[in-house]
Amino acid sequence: MAQTYIGAPIRREEDRRFLTGQGQFVDDVKLPNMLHAAILRSPHPHARILSIDATAALEMDGVAGVITFQDIKDTVVPRPIPIRMRTYVGIERFLQYPLAEDKVRYVGEPVALVVAETRYLAEDALDGVEVSYDPLPPVVNVWQSMQEDSLLFEEHGTNLAYEFASSIGDVDQAFREADYTHKEEFRCHRHTANPLETRGLVASYASGRQELTVWGETKVPHFNRGVLASLLQMPEHRIHFIEPDVGGGFGVRGEFYPENFLVPFAAIKLGRPVKWIEDRLEHLISANHSREHVCELEVAAKKDGTILGMRTKIYGALGGYVRTHGASVPVSTAAMLTGPYLIPNYEWDVKCLLTNKVGMGTFSAPGRYESCFFRERMLDMMAEDLKIDPTQLRLKNLIPPTAMPYELGRTRPEDYSLTYDSGDYPAVLKKALEVIDYENLKLTGGQYKDGRFHGVGVASFVKSTGTGTPYEGARVVVTGPDQVAVYLGISTLGQGHETVMAQICADGLGVPMEYVAVYHGDTDLMPFGGGTFASRGTTLAGNAVYGAAQRLREKILRISAGYLDVDPNDVEFAQGHVYRKTPSSGEPELDLNQVLELAGPASKYNQGEMGLESTHYFHSSQECYPCGAHAVHLAVDPETGQIEILKYAIAEDVGHVINPLLLTGQVVGAAAQGVGATILEELVYDDEGQPLAGSFMDYLLPTSLDIPAFDVAILDLAPSPINPLGVKGAGEIGIVATGAALSNAVSNALGVQVTELPLSPNKIKELLGRKTQA
């Protein structure tokens, strides 16, 4: 009677309401007497604020209020927006307050909030707030930041927010003994996620109950509720966060931004509900940016290609302030730089530097996309120099499955060692090569055919998942005949929790999946929750659901056995019915509704407990490590600089798969996002610190014509041994190797080494110019 919902390609339950136009997003929240907010943002990258005069705005019809730093000072000082993860000594000096006080440090920084009867009136009233600025020299890159001719925080005397340098093994000896060394400087470009739905909030304060309700919080609502409670100096239990449907996040949406304080503060101050919805320009100049790093990388190897060691200097451009991720992205870039390879000696120096740009935060696979690009490009350069096929070089150096679990070492500032839980990295790479037919295809590399240069590129990776808060919780309740409710502490950003968690519950409990309804997105459902990030949904929340369902199943068996006067080991529960094991008639003894009645308040079978319910928190302080490999065949048009991807193969092992249909969709979606990020997207700033991308006319996103048909192979070779389901995170990993594989293929096509992203047409033409000169 085994159930098999886990592993089945079941369509997403939540898609029904989205496809029929019944989704409810934050902008659909409309409350009586609601006001609308607009934010006055700095037009300068670096300037002192001499004065703010809101008189003209306050005199305009329909304007309910204008809020500046002086209005919030007594509430928030000395409590700036805190770091959520990767906080290290000294970095807290550079945090951001919700509104600028005496200085602005990036174009787009909030200076004032205007609240009016309509969004149009609020936007118009922004012109009535007069701000006098004294511009200062901007710092636009890491090299200027290190010169410190212009300081973002003069009181601290430095632009270096944090530095972490350390090593494993004996790197100097590895380089002394090497037959081959190579040094290169790489640059990964600044870009960001662009969810279909921009950020937005609605806040309403009930003064009689002294309770605040906020709609639109997502990703980490429990953490954000705690931050807001601290800033507003009100009890956390009086704040209720509700997550409507969400139109994507990708790491950028859902952090605690200045607006997450300003909108609730305005609702309390004005005594009316307040709504703010971000427009696309605001998103591009205020939501977290990511990826901008410079990497100086050296490799030491034997002449047969065996890697002896690596050393690196990484310079991360944090932006104008340290945001909620602290030094997470630059530190993660260094921590995972050696990737899936056996590199016993490794030295790194990470510098986190302030620049007059939007703050750096996480974007899908933060630090892993960057480090994969740096490392995999270096491996291809090394393979060319040593005249070794790049795939054979990788196979020679990949960590073998017999070495698992593999202890990488302490590559983060925290006092723990990174340990890869399981994986067969060579088998995964071989699968990607098989899917793309590499042995035949590699002969086309560098060929000029039909007016285009052809190239083939590969890249391997491993990624940590399930990081951050080391727990998630779930509650499973039988609420009626054939009715099971699952309440999650984790939020969703569109991954498919309502389907996947129902599959896990159905198998873990022993009921048909149609019995199960999944609820999430309300901080009142569960008192604690870590959040949706770092591909931790299934690894932590999924195992919490499974644990709660298993415990409830045991309770059902105990109650049923008591009623049938048999040992609990002599009965089983499947498809919502209780069966005897021996002797087995094949007919059910009890159904779920009968068991529910036996679990009533007067029941002698429920050992004093009420009803059929179970709450479980799954704890894990150890990360999981899915792995994968990408292989690409592309063609480059030398006249236009355009890239056409002809074939793209992806092989991934994420442990046991709950829903292969959803997983494939996530892999394809992440890879498509990575293709766009690698070829088209860049947040360009000029030398004066002004952003040049203010809309999708300037910031190009991929269309269906830019995205290839991905050939995806999902393997289940190495389930994780550290959780009951054997799963590893999968939501982000499809993006990790896109930059690396595509740049390797372009280098192979043109015979010129790619050291910078993006692979835009202008960059391709620059590479072709170098090829011509050579």
Mean pLDDT of the chain: 96
Provide the pLDDT confidence category of residue 691 given band limits of 50, 70 and 90.
Answer: very high
Q: Is the pLDDT at 585 greater than 80, yes or no?
A: no
pLDDT of residue 611: 86
User: Which helix (H) or strand (E) covers residue 761, if one does?
Assistant: helix 761-773
pLDDT of residue 647: 98
Listed residue (609, 614, 596) closest to 547, CA to CA = 614
Average pLDDT over residues 69-87: 94
Quickly state the pLDDT bin for 600 (edges 50, 70, 90).
Answer: confident
Q: What does the DSSP assignment read for 656-704?
A: S-S-HHHHHHHHHHHHHHHHHHHHT----B-TTS-B---STTTS----T
Say which residues have a Cβ less than 8 Å from residue 147's Cβ, sequence separation at least 6. none
Residue 772: pLDDT band (50, 70, 90) is: confident
Burial call 501-530: b when 16+ CB within 10 Å, e when fewer: bbbbbbbbbbbbbebbebbbbbbebbeebb
Class level of CATH domain 293-465+623-773: alpha beta
The model's pTM = 0.97
Domain extents in the chain: 15-20+468-619, 31-136+198-246+253-286, 293-465+623-773
Instruction: State whether the Cα torsion 700-705-711-714 is positive or negative.
Output: positive
Quick check: do 15-20+468-619 and 293-465+623-773 share a fold? yes
Whether 605 shows a pLDDT value over 80: the answer reads: no
Mean pLDDT, range 384-411, rounded to an integer: 97
pLDDT digits (tens, 9 = 90+) for 484-500: 999 999 999 989 999 99
Predicted confidence band of residue 602 (pLDDT cuts 50, 70, 90)? low
pLDDT tens column, 363-374: 999 999 999 999
Looking at domain 31-136+198-246+253-286, which of 3.90.1170.50, 3.40.50.300, 2.40.340.10, 3.40.50.1820 is its CATH number? 3.90.1170.50
Does pLDDT of 151 surpass 70?
A: yes
How do residues 497-556 score in pLDDT, each as one tens digit? 999 999 999 999 999 999 999 999 999 999 999 999 988 999 999 999 999 999 999 999
Write down the pLDDT at residue 771: 76
The CATH number for 15-20+468-619, chosen from 1.10.150.130, 3.40.50.720, 3.30.930.10, 3.30.365.10, is 3.30.365.10
Average pLDDT score over residue span 384-397: 98
Type of residue found at 496? G
Res. 718 pLDDT band, cuts 50 70 90: very high
The number of C-alpha atoms within 13 Å of 214 and in the hemisphere containing its C-beta is 32
Overall average pLDDT of the 579-607 stretch: 84
Tell me which residue has tokens 């659909």: 28
- Give the per-residue pLDDT at 774: 67
Mean local confidence (pLDDT), 653-677: 97
Q: Please confirm whether the linkage preceding 638 is cis (ω < 30° from 0).
A: no
pLDDT of residue 10: 97
What integer is the mean pLDDT of 62-75? 97
Alpha-carbon span 352 to 357, nearest angstrom: 14
Instruction: Report pLDDT digits (tens) over 222-278.
Output: 999 999 999 999 999 999 999 999 999 999 999 999 999 999 999 999 999 999 999
Residue 666 in contact with residue 628, Cβ under 8 Å? Answer: no
Question: Is residue 145 a contact partner of residue 79, using CB atoms and an 8 Å limit?
Answer: no
Q: Residue 601: which pLDDT band, with cuts at 50, 70 and 90? A: confident
